[in-house]
Amino acid sequence: MSMCSYPQARLKSQFQELIFGKICAIFLRMQKIHFIGIGGIGISNIAFIYLEKGCQVSGSDLKESEITKALQKKGAKIFIGHKAINLKKPDLVIYSEAIPANNPELQKAKKLSLECLSGSQAISRLSKGYFIIAVAGMHGKTTTASMIAQILIKAGFDPSFIIGKKDGWRCGKSKYLIIEADEYKDKFLNYYPDIAVITNIEAEHMDYFKNLENIKKSFCKFASQSKKVIKHKKHNLKLQIPGKHNLYNACLAFEAAKALKIKDSVIKKALFEYKGSWRRFEIKGRYNQAIIIDDYAHHPTEIQATLQAAREKYPKKQIIAVFQPHQYQRLNLLFNDFAKSFSQADQVIVTDVYSVAGRDSVRNGFKPFLTGWGPLQFLL
């Protein structure tokens, strides 16, 4: 090929890509997709992406919420309650992994031989053709993925992302897609990332994994499915958000961005401007002199990290930790670790346990033990 003909060939290729993209967009607009459990954080973000791409979206959930209202406002048809009649012969059914097998909509979809995908399977399909940056690990996934997204946006990469938080979606115009890769039930094994970030590995989700060895095997398999796995390196970074764990997350995000050849100055500026994520040390407001902070920490390691961040940011203030245990089985298996995780708090208030449907087989025997969690002052 001569030098003169190269620009013509390139122009022809770009034209073909444009036509192919338009055909795909038309096809997507013709697709009807029904979501079961559409009000959940993970599933709703997938629904928003499909709406943005022009699909006809419907979905159901047990109750109305801010999320279902936002989806409805964007054009989704929302049903409150799970009923077989909600299913109007869509092209595809996407269901939350929390949905039980006897769900009437899921049962009808399978009876009609409709294509059904779990949330993670849907993300896997959605990611075809993208350069995938997947963030896995027992803790810090949401924050690290959000940091990477901010860096890429500031660097002009215009990425898409699906992250497990409220408003955790973006439909960019580039090839880059950042996803939060959930390890529970090996959901992250649906992904084959170009870049994988593994924040940490620890005993968690033991109702599924049973032991740490099984956890290691799953993460090793995930790493083997990835073209590049980011290694943690220390960097001298300045952040607005407190906590040693956030500095650790930021260093991982820095290395992921370096793998994309983004300049150090751009990365550092983006990380300094990062102000946190939904329910991650989120300051909700003030009451008199008290600062109210919301955090999703539900594992002993996360509780320790959050309270360390609070002590770092407010060294002279009294810290009162109000904790709602998440899942009876987790509380049972990690009870001793929970008992040690509140050492940075001055007072601890423990509420009733939040029971997770389908995951809690052990429910009794906790109340008598809570009052004996050691030297901390518990108010029950």
- pLDDT greater than 50 at residue 323: yes
The yes-or-no answer to whether 25-123 and 282-379 have a common fold is no
Average pLDDT over residues 338-351: 86
Q: Compute the C-alpha angle 348/212/197, nearest 5°.
A: 85
Return the biggest CA–CA distance within the chain. 83
Q: State the pLDDT at residue 133.
A: 98
Pick the CATH number of 282-379 from 3.90.190.20, 1.10.3470.10, 3.90.1150.10, 3.40.50.1000: 3.90.190.20
Q: According to the model, what pLDDT value does residue 357 have? A: 58
Residue with token string 């959605």: 126
Instruction: Clarify whether 142 is annotated catalytic.
Output: yes
Q: Report percent pLDDT > 70 for the chain.
A: 85
Query: Is the distance from CB of 151 to CB of 271 less than 8 angstroms?
Result: yes
Cα 309-315-318 angle, rounded to 5 deg: 95
Q: Are strands 176-180 and 131-136 parallel, antiparallel or unpaired?
A: parallel
Cα distances (angstroms) measured from residue 24 to each of 11, 53, 54, 55, 314: 20, 10, 10, 11, 52
Active-site position among 105, 180, 204, 255: 180
Q: What is the pLDDT of residue 378?
A: 43
Q: Does domain 127-273 have CATH number 3.40.1190.10?
A: yes
Strand ranges for 53-212 from DSSP E = 56-61, 77-80, 92-95, 116-118, 131-136, 160-162, 169-170, 176-180, 195-198
In the chain, where the domains are located: 25-123, 127-273, 282-379
Q: Is 282 a catalytic residue?
A: no
Summarize pLDDT for 66-75 with one digit per residue, the tens.
999 999 999 9
Phi, then psi, of 12 in degrees rounded to 5: -65, -40
Buried b / exposed e across 283-320, counting CB within 10 Å, b at 16+? eeeeeeeeeebebbbbbbbbbbbbbbbbbeeeeeeebe
Per-residue model confidence as pLDDT tens digits over 35-45: 999 999 889 99
- The 10s digit of each residue's pLDDT in 137-176 is 988 899 999 999 999 999 999 999 999 888 899 999 999 9
* Position 7 pLDDT exceeds 60: no
For 247-299, the pLDDT digits (tens) are 999 999 999 999 999 999 999 999 999 987 777 778 788 888 888 888 888 78
SS3 123: helix
Instruction: Give residue-wise pLDDT tens across range 193-242.
Output: 999 999 989 878 777 888 999 999 999 999 999 999 999 999 999 998 87
68, 105, 141, 302: which one is catalytic? 141
By mean pLDDT, which of 180-184, 195-199, 210-214, 321-325 is the weakest? Answer: 321-325
What pLDDT is attached to residue 377? 42
Nearest to 87 by CA among 63, 107, 67: 107
Second CATH level (architecture) for the domain 25-123: 3-Layer(aba) Sandwich (3.40)
